[in-house]
């Protein structure tokens, strides 16, 4: 995969939003649409099924030079040869989960971001910027947190949470250079086209 500092569009294969579609079909569409990084997120799915999906998806992402991230299962990420693992604040700091491969951490406030950065992750997720059904209980951190991250976080970071084609320009104007998009892509019939639309906004906002 390319360096995380060169990645802009981070997308998901989230089992809650597959709508009966094959994960490998979604993986191909995301890669063809211009995703730089893809996370496999499978909440409440048995580990064996997560491993099976990861093994099926990895050859697709590798062929496209797209990074594959496994959410919540560092041992599966290492076993299948994924590029990264993603963990939440509770996973890492309360439950003691650790990853022997590069990992990313979620954060929902400046204090959490600083605590995450001290662990030397590959990247930090900043959000949820807006209310999102993906994290129904999470309070939006607003664009103020995005502005704080732009001014204070030097390692790669991705804005996440409720980002749509209608508000993505506001997120980019607040200082984000990298974004994570879940439902605004996966809820579209044409996943490839949805990715391309977000890429256009990212390209338009990129400095000359």
Give the bridge partners for 180, in sequence order.
10
Say how far apart CA 108 and CA 128 lie, in whole Å: 7
Q: Decide which of 131 and 23 is more confident.
A: 23
Kindly report, residue by residue over 111-126, the tens digit of the pLDDT: 999 999 999 999 999 9
For residue 186, pLDDT over 70 is answered with yes
- Residue 164 has a CB neighbour count (10 Å cut-off) of 14
Query: Is 60 exceeded by the pLDDT of residue 208?
Result: no
**CATH, residue 95:** 3.20.20.70
Tell whether the torsion through CA atoms of 40, 88, 73 and 104 is positive or negative.
positive
Tokens 């980019």: give the residue.
172
Q: Mean pLDDT score of the chain, rounded to an integer?
A: 95
For residues 50 and 66, the answer to whether their CB atoms sit within 8 Å is no
pLDDT score of 134 more than 80: no
The Cα 185–Cα 95 span in angstroms is: 31
Residue 20 structural domain: 4-205
Domains: count for the chain: 1
Per-residue confidence (pLDDT) for residue 172, from 0 to 100 = 98
CB-CB contact of 40 with 66 (8 Å)? no
**For residues 148 and 141, what is the distance between their CA atoms, to the nearest angstrom?**
11
């Amino acid at each position: 995969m390319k360096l995380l500092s060169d990645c802009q569009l981070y997308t998901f294969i989230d089992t809650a939003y597959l709508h009966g579609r094959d994960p490998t079909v979604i993986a191909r569409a995301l890669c063809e649409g211009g995703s730089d990084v893809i996370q496999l997120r499978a909440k409440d799915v048995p580990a064996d099924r997560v491993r099976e999906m990861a093994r099926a998806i990895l050859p697709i992402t590798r062929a496209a030079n797209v990074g594959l991230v496994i959410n919540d299962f560092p041992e599966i990420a290492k076993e299948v040869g994924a590029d990264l693992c993603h963990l939440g604040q509770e996973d890492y700091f309360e439950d003691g989960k650790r990853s022997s491969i590069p990992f990313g951490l979620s954060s929902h406030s400046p204090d959490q971001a600083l605590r995450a950065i001290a662990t030397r992750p590959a990247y930090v997720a900043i959000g949820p910027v807006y209310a999102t059904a993906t994290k129904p209980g999470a309070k939006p951190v607003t664009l103020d947190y995005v502005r704080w991250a732009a001014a204070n976080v030097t390692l790669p970071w991705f804005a996440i949470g409720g980002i749509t084609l209608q508000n993505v320009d506001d997120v980019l104007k607040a200082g984000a250079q990298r974004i994570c998009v879940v439902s605004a892509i996966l809820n579209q019939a044409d996943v490839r086209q949805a990715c391309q639309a977000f890429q256009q906004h990212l390209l338009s906002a990129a400095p000359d």
